Amino acid sequence: MKKLINSPEGVVADALAGIAAAHPGLKIDYANRVIYRGDSPVAGKVGLISGGGSGHEPLHGGFVGLGMLDAACAGEVFTSPTPDQMLAATKAVDGGAGVLHIVKNYTGDVMNFEMAAELAAAETGVAVKSIVVNDDVAVQDSLYTAGRRGVGLTVLLEKIVGAAAEQGRDLDSVADLAAKVNSLGRSMGMALTSCIVPAAGKPTFDLPDDQMEIGIGIHGEPGRHRVPLAPAKEIAAQLVEPILGDLDFTGAPAIVMLNGMGGSPLIELYVMYGEVKAILDKAGVPVARTLVGNYITSLEMAGCSVTVLKADDELLGLWDAPVSTPALRWGV
Amino acid sequence: MKKLINSPEGVVADALAGIAAAHPGLKIDYANRVIYRGDSPVAGKVGLISGGGSGHEPLHGGFVGLGMLDAACAGEVFTSPTPDQMLAATKAVDGGAGVLHIVKNYTGDVMNFEMAAELAAAETGVAVKSIVVNDDVAVQDSLYTAGRRGVGLTVLLEKIVGAAAEQGRDLDSVADLAAKVNSLGRSMGMALTSCIVPAAGKPTFDLPDDQMEIGIGIHGEPGRHRVPLAPAKEIAAQLVEPILGDLDFTGAPAIVMLNGMGGSPLIELYVMYGEVKAILDKAGVPVARTLVGNYITSLEMAGCSVTVLKADDELLGLWDAPVSTPALRWGV
């Protein structure tokens, strides 16, 4: 295992220290492993919290800041944070307007966020709503999930819902918007290689040199099928066609993310995006906004995922609104 | 070789198509493989051009846009662009105030940019000045270089000098500023793994599982020495100490970049940055601005580099000025 770490057991704490050092505008609660925007809680604003296992950076800590999340809870690598972490974050970000939990659909995350919401209600009376993101069209259930997994759409949802909260919308409105975004986005991913969880010290799975895994999740959990390596154009088709088959994306402006899984160089992600865009053009899906890069990763896994969100003027306006986080920043 | 590409020979053209699709604000000259900002040439503004081999993305194409480069010439992977490409770009970006060539110190790049400058002078009378960036403290000469290599500082220089050009400074002033930045910045890199050049199809070098290469360049060319794998804290010391030994960085605000070589996940880059920052704190180097991420890469190489720039109020002001490019964006 070749990694830039001090020890497998110290990775998450050391990364939090690095995030604190790099981004003095954020506040870190090391005991609870929560990253906060510096001015949290913001009075009168709905607080937005997400979190999950570490190893998907910049998700979620890299999306904390003005116009996006108020707090992100960091679990161990590929392990859900605890209800205690989520409860601490919920209390801390409440500015009097309630808190929305943004939860990727993985069994542990869902269970722990539910418990945190119950504890928050019982202990403090903070109003909490939740959105469970489930955009992955690859598999219906998986090793870690009942129903579809929550993957790349989480990034777009955090941006759009974050902008709405920043505008001062109330909790019901923000939660409704989150449900709307979730209903309109779809994702699909693939891997060329496995990743290595530091504590495990060896690849999560073996993938022969001439094969790739289509429909993989963000923890190296199995996907739809293993197929022979193929050119970028064919990979793009294998990712985009299931997405377009699941929802009619024609006739509305799309926000598209071509996401790297962590180990694929940007030159390859651009090659992939060119092929994805060509397919969308041919299918009559007008692309209005694009993100290409590593936004929700699986450690050093080589591969990529595609997310398409069927937007409208409201969603585009919220997308374009100012944001200032470590990983997404514009207008500020 | 597992890559998200259509063919080894098509990588650069396909990536340019993807960049064009993702960033409609840029213009692409496919014949010359030059990426331009959409409003180029900007009348009265000094034009800034850089370029080099592909495989270092987002450098340079990802830094084209308002407040940074006017154009970037893309060579084949790890191969200098030709003088013809650079000449075409020089002519195209001239807004009447002359053109600055930003050249990383690699023999091919230096030679070809010199030839392009001579051709531009002879054919068109466009005033051209050049800055050759040579910030790598690892080695004095290398396989591809006379003198020190030009590496991570190029990113910071393009940002700072780009802001100065945007302010309307004249060519002499912009070139002087570039020389100032170059004199005040130092870098050092390391690799855990090799990369694979698509046309070669196999790793550029072999690095045993228990070793790392310190002082490596951005093409997999050898560095200072191979040493046993070490914890992040020791790797940080091996990178930062040669930098601090080469220039006195105390007492001035530093701009620091912790750069990933392309294949290392962001969680590891943050672990590394935490260690780098601790060393700088101890050495009395006050860090004023930070970048952590993949900015000048070596395909899918795992590893990182550190760049430290000794700044002042002028440089910090230019750093903070608005920028709008695919890879760096703020204030717009």
pLDDT digits (tens, 9 = 90+) for B94-118: 999 999 999 999 999 999 999 999 9
Question: CB-based contact (8 Å) between A5 and chain B?
Answer: yes
Q: Are residues A67 and A196 in the same domain?
A: no
Q: Are residues B17 and B59 in the same domain?
A: yes
Q: How many domains does chain B have?
A: 2
Residue A216's pLDDT is 94
Instruction: Pick B21's closest partner by Cβ from A209, A231, A274.
Output: A274
Q: Are residues A259 and A167 in the same domain?
A: no
Q: Are residues A112 and A239 in the same domain?
A: no
Domain closes at, from B184, B203, B221: B184
Q: Are residues A96 and A19 in the same domain?
A: yes
Question: CB-based contact (8 Å) between A220 and chain B?
Answer: no
Residue B73 has pLDDT above 90, yes or no: yes
DSSP codes joined into one string, B255-289: EEEEEE-BSS-HHHHHHHHHHHHHHHHHTT--EEE
Residue A220's pLDDT is 84
Domain closes at, from A139, A169, A184: A184
Residue B139's pLDDT is 85
CA distance A74 to A52: 6
Q: Are residues B164 and B22 in the same domain?
A: yes
CATH number at residue A153: 3.40.50.10440
Q: What is the pLDDT of residues A139-158, one digit of tens each?
A: 887 777 789 999 999 999 99
Contacting A residues, span 170-189, partner chain B, CB-CB under 8 Å = none
Strand order in the sheet with B225-228: B225-228, B211-214, B185-191, B303-310, B254-260, B287-293
Which chain A residue is nearest to residue B325, measuring alpha carbons?
Answer: A330
- Is there a contact between B267 and A7 if contact means CB atoms under 8 Å apart? no
Residue A139's pLDDT is 85
In A217-230, which positions are buried (b, 16+ CB within 10 angstroms) versus exposed (e)? bbbbbebbebeebb
A126 assigned to some structural domain:
yes
Residue A37's pLDDT is 98
Contact B86, B113 (CB under 8 A): yes
Interface residue of A271, A292, A305, A306 to substitute, partner B, most B CBs within 10 Å: A271
- Is there a contact between B193 and A58 if contact means CB atoms under 8 Å apart? no
ipTM: 0.98
Q: Are residues A151 and A60 in the same domain?
A: yes
Q: What is the mean pLDDT of residues A155-174?
A: 98
A92 assigned to some structural domain:
yes
The reply to whether the predicted model has a pTM over 0.90 is yes
CATH number at residue B216: 3.30.1180.20
Q: What is the mean pLDDT of residues B141-156?
A: 88
A35 assigned to some structural domain:
yes
CA distance B322 to B329: 7
Q: Are residues A30 and A164 in the same domain?
A: yes
B266 assigned to some structural domain:
yes
- Is there a contact between B297 and A192 if contact means CB atoms under 8 Å apart? no
Q: Is A57 exposed, middle or buried (0-12, 13-18, 19+ CB in 10 A)?
A: buried
- Is there a contact between B209 and A2 if contact means CB atoms under 8 Å apart? yes
Residue A314's pLDDT is 98
Q: Are residues A23 and A76 in the same domain?
A: yes
What domain range includes position B72?
Answer: 11-184
A332 assigned to some structural domain:
no
Three-class secondary structure of residue B137 per DSSP: coil
Q: Are residues B173 and B215 in the same domain?
A: no
CA distance B206 to B300: 14
Q: Are residues A48 and A22 in the same domain?
A: yes
Q: Are residues B141 and B282 in the same domain?
A: no
Contact A298, A218 (CB under 8 A): yes
Domain closes at, from A120, A152, A184: A184
Q: What is the pLDDT of residues A218-277, one digit of tens each?
A: 998 888 899 999 999 999 999 999 999 999 999 999 999 999 999 999 999 999 999 999
Residue A202 has pLDDT above 90, yes or no: yes
